[in-house]
Structure 1
């Protein structure tokens, strides 16, 4: 499917060069695989990689001063976002709005793998439990 959402002549490059940086080391074990601040790539978002094999396990309740988008890469998760409970599986995305406490857990069976996009150049978080 071809897309033409805007006229490319209306957007000028800002002079940044393409960059690469390591998000995580695939050899390292553990749920928090790594994080990549937006500044490392000269971008506007920070990216985290998270995964675990244990149903019921996940990050603690926390909040950010910016939106966070969760991409479920593998498995199924239950997200607690404010008063909402949302179940999502591989291929789905969930939004955690700025200022709304949230957490998620592996529903199992098997591995849950997420990519968490923090809409900020830096990872800023307050844990609530």
Structure 2
């Protein structure tokens, strides 16, 4: 069935050109890592690629002033979003609301690879768990 959710004549292009940029280097060995600010295209969405081969490893507990959507591309992850714990596998999507602390970890076996969509033109984050950093 064809979709017709709106009348295309009701939208006026804003003049931004199509664009392209690299999020990660697919030729490099190992998990994908990279970020692409929405500002690159004048967009309100920033995209991150996150991957790890280490079981139990993932981003530290943090919070954003905007929503974040996680797409599990490969592997399995345990997400901690506020007081909720969610397990997600390849092809599943997890939503983290603005202002709610969150983190996730690789459940294994093998690689965890996610694409993380920050609903903001730039990546803004406050880490909440402090890790001691030795003085330089």
TM-score > 0.5 by shorter chain: yes
Correspondence list, 1:38-53, <5 A:
38-53=38-53
SS at match of 1:72: strand
Deviation per CA, 1:49-94: give whole Å up to 9, x if none: 0011111110000000000000111111100000000011111111
CA–CA distance in 1 between the matches of 2:66 and 2:30?
A: 26
Q: Specify the structure having the higher radius of gyration (Cα).
A: 2
Correspondence list, 1:1-129, <5 A:
1-28=1-28, 33-129=33-129
The CA RMSD over aligned residues, in Å, is 1.4
CA–CA distance in 2 between the matches of 1:63 and 1:31?
A: 23
> TM-score under structure 1 normalisation?
0.94
Aligned residues between the structures: 129
Distance apart, 1:30 and its partner CA = 6.2
List alignment gaps of at least 5 residues for structure 1.
none
